[in-house]
Amino acid sequence: MAWTTPKTWASEPLTSADLNTYVRDNQNYLYNGWAGDSYERYGGSSWTTTSTGWVDVDATNLASTITTSGGDVLVVFAGSAKCSASAGLFQFGLDVDGAAKQGIVNLVDDANHDSNASFSYILTGLSAGSHTIKLQWRTGSGTATLQGARTVFWAVREIAGTT
């Protein structure tokens, strides 16, 4: 089902066909029409890395492949993370179809202190079609940990389609 540009009303009567097209069908499109994927976990094992180069956090669960109509894509991530090094820097970023958008969240830790690691990011300029988006991270020193025992949330959704 496609989006129908709303009608500009003049003096004509309102019909059930118009209501179905411009109200019901467009609301169904807004509710169901955009591609999306999400993942939430609570109480699982944690993820860790000692990599100083960008690596996937979890290429299965914290990665999404969606088919878009060429609109903007909203990526949301939230979790609790820490680094074992004193004044350890660790970062989260995205891999979009193999191209990095890195350093979206930069965290400095004072050695094993839980930090809120979260962001909302809008990807623009993606063509219509299939896209794979992965959460990546790296650490400047020590071991970075994403706490699986706490809630981890990841969502990828097209928010503005072309008509």
**Residues of the chain by 3-state class (helix, strand, coil), percent to 5:** 10, 50, 40
Comparing C-alpha atoms, which of 130, 16, 7 is closest to residue 69? 130
**Residues 98-157: pLDDT tens digits?**
988 766 777 766 666 788 888 899 998 889 999 999 999 998 888 889 988 788 999 998
Predicted structure pTM score: 0.76
Which domains does the chain show, CATH number per domain? 36-160 (2.60.120.760)
Angle (CA) 99 41 136, round 5°: 20
- Whole-number Å distance between alpha carbons of 7 and 22: 7
**Residues 36-85: pLDDT tens digits?**
677 777 778 899 999 999 999 999 989 999 988 888 899 999 998 888 87
Residue 59 has a pLDDT of 92
